[in-house]
Structure 1
Amino acid sequence: MNGSGPSYPLASLYVGDLHSDVTEAMLYQKFSPAGPIMSIRVCRDIITRRSLGYAYINFQQPADAECALDTMNYDILKGRPIRIMWSQRDPGLRKSGVGNIFIKNMDDSIDNKALYDTFSAFGNILSCKVVCDEKGSKGYGFVHFDTQEAANRAINTMNGMLLNDRKVFVGHFKSRKDREQEFGTKALKFTNIYIKNFGEDYTEDNLKFVFSEFGRTLSVCVMKDERGRSRGFGFVNYANHEDAQKAVEEMNGKELNGKFLYVGRAQKRLERQGELKRRFDQIKLDRIQRYQGVNLYVKNLDDSIDDDRLRKEFSPYGTITSAKVMTDGSLSKGFGFVCFSSPEEATKAVTEMNGRIIATKPLYVALAQRREERKAILTNKYMQRLATLRMANPIIDSYHQQSYYMTVPPASTRPMYEHNTVSNVRSAPRWTGQPPRAQGPYLTQYVSGSTPRRASSIATVRQASTQAPRIACSSQKTNNIGTQTACGRADLSGMSRSSHFKYPSAVVSAPVMEQPMHVQSTEPLPASILATAPLVDQKQLFGERLYPLIHALHPKLAGKITGMLLEIDNSELLHILESPESLHSKVDEAIAVLQAHHVKVGSPKK
């Protein structure tokens, strides 16, 4: 970075191009040497909780953030170079295009760091990126300076220069809208036309003879297959735009050799695909607007109801434009659609027909919704319900926020949760009328019998081979086999939360005898069994299979690491069980978190 960095009110960095497995704990390990960190957040999908590939890191001091930007930009993390820049909360600067330049015709060997080093001499760079696909560089990129003057200097100096023996073009960035307008103006002056559907018998000489009557042609080409036969389409390039325009107007739709020709302006594939996409999107939008408020969704249909019966039942409420029962071959799927001519008729049909018994079943009738609308409504309901649960009991918010946001508070020490806030464990056995399921030496604890309590689930665990009694609070119930509660949390000294893992709890007071250990299950975990098991039992199933695998790698820490891995979503746990590489990676992350914790608290490793 050239000179001192820009002055921002917060020492906040944006870290992009992250691998999907990068967590807050890994970013803390990476960036903490630069200086004290206030918070780290990996941005994730609101539903799947998958990483979106970027994160925000807030330092306590701007100088530390600038140090990280200067020394760690484009470092390799999880096999990928990370891209760091100052966090721009206001998108106005990015969208304005001020100071943004475009570079193309670059050599494939030029990566983000090389591009950054090349252009950093002209001013402070806010963002620098080489556009890549799965094969590597696509030969172009962008550099965004903090001032327009710096961008102008870069353009005047670098445009037409050789970079790795290739002459590059450097110019001002243009938005897609501006490029489309510019291209549209050029397209109006076309000279190359596309002809198809003239048959396999027509040669280039035949085509030239037909189309040369409209003006002087520069080239005529008939596309052929590998055997040299005509594929029935080709191109004619005229010397003047007026001649090409006249040929399109005269020959498009004309019959030639018993077939009707298509003649139009020649287009590149991407342009043609974009035009077709816009056309289909417009048709889709028109159809949505046409059926808005008049199309009804009807489900719970009896198998005997067909299109005619459906139309007959709804016809008293207005004019029906279409009625369709969805089928799988000849069998009804149990739902269908009825479209009326006006919203008033559709509303009346919903009021009258919803809940009415037709044949043997009561119907469900409602206005039809597009998939996107239905998904948005369900997401909104889910978030509202989640917000209500958070207000009622903040401890329940363990899967959706605290597990993915790591804050690093000042050095003051306090337990994460007070002892009296921890709910008692269920006293009823998990499987009524069945022998107890094999338990492992990892710990689980639940809130209200269904939601895993992750914030306080990991307590100090002894080795599996030593059947010593556990240490727990005397006020807690431990009726469930293999469960344990803890009175307090260890002093994390500024590392109280992480992306997937929670730190081990402190050892606490009064002893309680424990049931003997059982051998863990090594059988595969079928998805059908997992899907039918309650949420509280799913983690148990995962734990029974994870523990022996982890015990083979780290016998002394197997219990702690297993409990930490159980904090991860079930979909990732399935992947871990199936992939030894992923298991090793997650175990290494857990070891790193434990080591960082022990360094902070100054206690010896167990």
Structure 2
Amino acid sequence: MTQNSIDQSKDWLISLAKNLNYRVAQENGQRIFGPPLDWNEESVISEKGTEVFIGRIPSDCFENELIPLFEKPGRIYKMRLMIDFSRKNRGYGFVQYFNKEDAQRAVKMLNRFEIRKRWPIGVMLSRNNNRLFFGNLPNNITKQEMIDEVAKHTSGIINAIYYGGPTRTNGFGFVEYENHKMTALARRKFFPGSILLFDRQPKVDWAKSEEEFEDDFVSNNTVLYVRFIKLDVTEKELKEFFSLIHDGQTLLNVNRVKKIRNFAFIHYESHKDAQMAHDYFQKIDLGQTILNDIDQELEIKWAKNKSIHSLSVSSINCMRSSKTKEHSSQTPRNYHESYRKSFDEFHNYHGNGDRRHFLNCNGDSTSIN
């Protein structure tokens, strides 16, 4: 790769965009290539899973070097290169592809690629956070009322989750936006003391973003995590519901179901059955089932945290072992350490501010208030 100036790269970029019928723009300290001019603006591709972050870009390296390189894994939907006032790039940028497979291929192909001699770049999946946490809300509103109130001040809302009820002093929730840019703008608007929601000063901050799964974990997973279930739904009803898909025409083998309050774990006999169920439930209206709580859609996703699924009874050192009396009267040396690690890992995913969970000695999930 040869060094070049920002003006040379700009001329090259404009020429390329004209030939490929792509947009080119410069705004907010970034130069943007794409999406295609003939692309339907209503068919926006989600950044989640399709965008990669590029770090350690040389300051004199621009699109005329980067675009040919990042086109190798797949067709580019959009590229954003950060430019500073000295007319050099700021050392990082983003490339978005048309699908997740090309983004994952880019990471495998180009992470640590030497774009200059002894100058490897870093490439990883972008972790844009599109959710905000809203605290200090009334405890007696609905999800739609929360959306309507927040929408008075921000745009781009696509979904929300609300937690309230008479057992809580205050309600809270999470609002999901179309993209990271809209989320960041919304967070700025809710600067402390600037806006009231329901005549209250809300507490607004970034929500903890979910980590993407490792491919090898998903390929072996047989457990689905389901949330926002009505409290009176039984495990038997859940098993029947998750055993039959496609209007009862396809029967899946569910080994067991474990329900705790308004969430549950559905254990399938095989990954194939779990995958079929997962794919099916992503396509139907989960707000109109016989299981979902009022004003909430069922949330169905892969049960996370590989270490929790593979956690053995011996690693937790159950205190009620029938082998020796010593186990029932003496705390093993590493018990507290392994228990706390397991508890923290599990809470990192399932903890949502209203309860915490851990695995008991039978491998089931239990809650503590």
User: Please, what TM-score do these two structures have when normalized by structure 2?
Assistant: 0.29
Higher strand share: 2
User: Please, what TM-score do these two structures have when normalized by structure 1?
Assistant: 0.18
Higher helix share: 1
